[in-house]
Chains A and B, each alone.
Chain A
Amino acid sequence: MHIVVCVKMVPDTTLVQIDPKTNTLVREGVPFITNPFDTHAVEEALRLKDRYGGKVTALSMGPPAAEMVLRRALALGADEAVLLSDRAFGGADTLATSKVLSEAIRRIHENEPVDLVFCGLQTIDGDTAQVGPGVACRLGFTQLTLVDHIYEVNQRESYIEVRRKLEGAFERVQARMPALITTTREINTPRYPTVPGRLQAASRALPVWSNDVMKLERAEIGLQGSPTNVRRIFAPQREKGEIINGLNGAHLTAADCMLNKLYEWDILNAD
C-alpha cells in the first residue's frame, strides 16, 4: 500500500499576536511548527503502514525551511519525502495550493500508484479546510473528510471503511480507493520520534521539486493562480465581556480571579 501524507509548516499561531495599531500579524520570533492537524495525518498513515505494510511518502509545499516538517515525518517513520518549493508557488491560496499538491501527487502516482492520501483537517494558520477536498477533486479520488477512526483497509477489494465525525452524529462509510482522508485531532495520539530516527532523517537528501520539475502554468499557481485576496486582518473588537487572566495577580489562580469577579458583580454572595 502506498500512502501520501501532506504536511504544512505553519507559524505557532497560538503565539501570534495582532499588532493593534497596524492590524497585522506580529510574526517575529514566532517559531514554526508542523501544522498540528497534520501530525495526526502523519500518525494515521504510519499506523496503517504498521498494520498493513507498505510505504509512506510525505509531501509539503513551502519555503526551503519547510523541509523541517518533512524531516520530522521521516524521523517518525515516513519512507520518502518531497518538498515542493519555488518562488512561483508563493502567495498561493487554497485553490493554487491544491493545484500544486495534486499535480505532485499525480507525478508520484505515475511512478508508484497511490492508494491513500492523508491531510490534516485544516491548518491552524488558514483554518479553511479546503485544500484536502480540493486535492481530492482534482485527482478524482474519493473524498473522506473529518475522519476520526479507520476501521479497515481492504486492499484486495480496494475499499476503506472509516468513521466521520459530523455535527452531532457519526457516519460510518465504506469508500472506494484511492481515497483522500482528512483527519481530526481525535483520531490518534501522534508518536514521538526516536533519536536514531531523527538522526537518520537529518542526514538524508531531500528531493525538492521546483516549477522547473513540475512545469505548471504560471497562471494556475502562486499569487497569480489565487483568486482569494486578503484585504485586511484584524482582531475582532470585544464590545462586552472580559477575559479573566489568572496569571496577572501573582498569587491568584484563574479560579480565584473568577470568584472575585462573581462576588464583585453580586452574582455570588461572599458569605
Chain B
Amino acid sequence: MPWSRIIFTVLFIASIGLFLFNVYRLIAMLCLGRWENRFDHLLARLKGVLLFVFGQKRVVRRAFGVNHFFIFWGFMILLGMNSEFLIQGVFPEFSLRFLGRVPYGALLFATDIMSVVVLAAVALAVMRRIAFRPKYIEASRDAFLILGLIAMLMVAYFGVHAAEIALGETDMGGWMPVSGALAGAFATSTPEKIHRSLNASWWVHALALLAFLNYLPYSKHLHVLTAIPNVFFRRIDPVSVPPRLKFELGQDFGVSKVTQFTWKQLLDFMACTECGRCEDSCPAHGTGKDLSPKEMVHRGKLNLFINGGSLLNSRPIDTLAGAPREASMVKPLIDGTAESIPEKDVWSCATCGVCMEECPVFIEHAPKTLEMRRHLVMEKAEFPEELLSLFNNMEQRFNPWGIAPTDRAKWAQDLDIHIVKEDAPADYLFFVGCSGAYDSRARGIALAMAKILDRAGLSWGILGTEEKCCGDSLRRLGNEYVFDQIAQANVAQFKKLGITKVVTHCPHCYTTLKNDYRAYGAEFEVIHHSELIERLIAEGKLPVHARANGRVVYHDSCYLGRHNGLYDAPRHCVEAVSGQAPAEMERSHGRAFCCGAGGGRMWLEETEGKRINIDRTEQALKQNPAAIASACPFCMTMLEDGLKDLGKDGDVKVKDIAELVADAIE
C-alpha cells in the first residue's frame, strides 16, 4: 500500500471518528434538556421536510434565498460523488459504477454542472457580504472561511477530473462537459506534470472535505446537520400554546438555566443559520431596541455549549441523560454578559411571532422568551414595576385596570341585552373582554357588535358582571399562576352555563379561549367576530350597503393573523362595506408588523428606541388612508395613540371592522 494511501486512511479514520464524536456530543447535549414529545404527526413532519428542506420553500421567499437553493441542491448532488471520493481514498477499486453506466454518467454530469453552479453561488454570497451586505447579515470570519472551503472543494474537484480526462484515465469524460473543457488547459503539459497536478488537487480536495466535516460543528454551518431534524421536529400547531404547568412544590416555574429548556428548544439553538431574517423583521429590533431574536438564539447556543460542555465533561462519556434539576451552571442564562440573555430583552418582545414565521428552519423564539418570563415573574418576582398593579388587579378584580367587576356590564346598561344564565341560555355567548367592557373607545366595538348580532337575529347574550378577563396578558407576561386560576374559573363557568359557541372581537381573548383553554378542558367553539360577520354577510343575514368610506387600509393583528391564520375574513368584511378590497401596507399578512401591544406589552412602558405603534402608524399613513381598519381593541388603542402622537388623529380614523359594518347596516 503506498504511503499516501496509508496517510489518507489514518486521516480519514481520525476525522470520521472525530466527526462522529462531535455528533455524539451534540446529541448528548440535547439530552440534557427536558423531554417533550415531537414524534407525533409523523406524516405532516415528513411533508414539512420535503417542502421546507428539499423544496427550500421558506428560504426562497427572499430573492437571495435562491442562491442558497442552489448551494443546497449542489450539496445534495455532490454528496454522492464525494462519498465515492472518500471511499476511493481508502479502497481505490471502489466505484459507484455499479449503478450502471447511464445512471453513473448522469451523476457525473450533474456533479460537474452543479459544481459550477455552487462555485458561482459561493462567489455571489461572498460578494453579497462584501459589496451589498444587508445589515442583518454579518460578514463574519466564520462565513468567509466556510465559503472559501466550499470554493476550494469545487476548484479541486475540477482539478482532479480535468487531469483525469487529460490523462485519459477515465472513459466517462463525455459525461463531464466542464471538466472536459478544463482538460484542454493541460494540452501542452507533460503527463508527469498533469499527474503532479492531479495529486495536488486530490489532496486539496481530500483535506478540504475532511476539514469541512470537522469544522461544521463549531460554526454556524452546524445547521447543515441540524436544520433538517429541526424542520422535522417543528411545532405542527399553528399557534405556540405554552404547556400548562402543575403548581406543586418542587416543580420549576419557567427557565433560568439553559438545561431547563426542552431538547427541541436546545436543537433550535443549534439549528440557527444566522441568516438574520428574524432580526430583520422583528418590530422590537426594527424600532431600535436591543432585542434581536437572532442574537437571542445565538446567545442561547453559546450558553448551551458552555454549560452543557462543562456538564458533559463532569460525567462519564457514555451517559445520555437529562441534567439533574439541581445542576449548577457555569454561566447564568439570564444575565446580559456575552453568552447570556439580557433581562431587559426578555421584556421587549411583543410575542408577535414574525420571527418564527420568517425563520427558514422553524426556530421557535417566543416560547423561549416566555419561559424566561415565567421564571422571572414566578420564581423571582422580578418584573418591570408597571406590572405590579396589573398583576394585582387581575388577581383581585379580573381586569387589567382594577375597575370594579360590578361595572363590567355598564356599557350595556342602556341596551336590553340578555344575560346568559344556567336557566337562560343563548346560542352565542358574546365574550366582551375587558377592553370592550371598560375602555371608553373600545366600548364602541362592543356596541357595534350588539347592533350586528341583533340585526342578524341571532340568539345571543353576555355574561354581564360575571365575566372575567381571559387572562391573555397574564399568560404572555409569564404570570402563569394567576392565569391558571382565571382559566380554571372561566372554563368551569362556561361549562356550568353549557356554552357551546363564543364570539369575541378581541384576538387575545380569541386565541386564549380557543387555544390556551384547550388544556383546561374547553370544548366550546370560539369564533372571531370577523369570521361571524363575514359569514352573516355572505349568507345575506346582514343588510349592509357598501358605501364610499374612502381609502381603508387594513392592519393585521398578530394574534389573529400569524397566530391563528385569519387573514381574509376581516378583509372581506371591509370589502363588503366599502365596495373595494382594503389597501395593503408594505408589511401585511404573514409579515405584518406588530402594533406593539402583544405579549402583554400593552401594559409596559416603551422607553427604548422608537415606539412600535408610531412606526406602524407611519407605515399605515404611507398608504394615504381615510381610515385604518383593525380587528383588535389593542391594535386600535395603539394605532389611535400613534395617530395622536403624529398629529393625524383629525384626518385619519381607526375603525374596528365591526364598527365599519354596523355603520353600513341600514
Contact = CB atoms under 8 A, between A and B. Distances in A.
Contact of B406 (A15, A200, A252): A15
B410 A247 contact: yes
Contacts of B378: 194-195
A246 B440 contact: yes
A203 B249 contact: yes
B396 A192 contact: no
Contacts of A198: 481
B248 A253 contact: no
Interface in B360-414: 377-381, 383, 385, 388, 391-392, 396-397, 404-407, 410-411
Contacts of B405: 15
Given A31-B396, A192-B388, A247-B410, A199 B249 contact: yes
Given A12-B396, A15-B406, A199 B248 contact: yes
Tell me whether chain A's interface is mostly helix, strand or loop, or mixed.
loop
B373 to A, nearest CB: 13
A12 B406 CA distance: 12
A246 B397 CA distance: 20
A33 B404 CA distance: 14
B486 interface: no
Interface string B443-459: 11001000000000000
Contact of B379 (A31, A194, A246): A194
Contact of B247 (A14, A199, A252): A199
A17 B444 CA distance: 27
B258 to A, nearest CB: 21
B404 A195 contact: no
Contacts of B438: 247
Nearest to B407: A247
Count class of interface residues, chain A = 20 to 34
Nearest to B465: A29
Contact of A194 (B380, B407, B441, B447): B380
A111 to B, nearest CB: 28
Contacts of B407: 247
Contacts of A33: 396
A200 B249 contact: yes
Contacts of A252: 440
Contacts of B385: 189
A250 interface: yes
Nearest to A254: B440
A250 B410 CA distance: 10
Interface string A219-258: 0000000000000000000000000001111111100000
B233 interface: no
Contacts of A31: 396-397
Nearest to A26: B406
Given A31-B396, A198-B481, A203-B249, A250 B404 contact: no
A87 interface: no
A250 B440 contact: yes
B443 A250 contact: yes
Given A17-B406, A199-B249, A193 B381 contact: yes
A246 B391 CA distance: 25
Contacts, number: 58
A192 B381 contact: yes
Contacts of A193: 381
A251 B481 contact: no
Contact of A250 (B253, B406, B444, B481): B444
Interface in A21-43: 29, 31, 33
A263 to B, nearest CB: 19
B610 to A, nearest CB: 26
A195 B410 contact: no
Contact of B391 (A192, A194, A250): A192
A203 B476 CA distance: 28
Contacts of A246: 440
Nearest to B385: A189
A107 interface: no
Contacts of B249: 196, 199-200, 203
A135 to B, nearest CB: 27
Contacts of B392: 192
Contacts of A17: 406
Nearest to A199: B249
Contacts of B391: 192
A191 B388 CA distance: 8
A252 B439 CA distance: 10
B432 to A, nearest CB: 13
Nearest to B484: A195
Contacts of B481: 195, 198
B443 A195 contact: no
Contacts of A12: 396-397
Contacts of A29: 406
Given A12-B396, A198-B481, A251 B253 contact: no
Contacts of B440: 246-247, 249-253
Contacts of B380: 194
Interface in B230-251: 247-249
A193 B447 CA distance: 38
Given A17-B406, A194-B378, A195-B481, A250 B247 contact: no
Contacts of B379: 194-196
Contacts of B253: 195-196
A146 to B, nearest CB: 24
5 contacts: A192-B388, A194-B379, A199-B248, A247-B407, A247-B440
Given A29-B406, A195-B481, A199-B248, 13 more contacts: A15-B397, A15-B405, A192-B377, A192-B381, A192-B383, A194-B381, A196-B253, A196-B379, A198-B481, A246-B440, A248-B410, A250-B411, A252-B440
Interface of A: 12, 14-15, 17, 29, 31, 33, 189, 191-196, 198-200, 203, 246-253
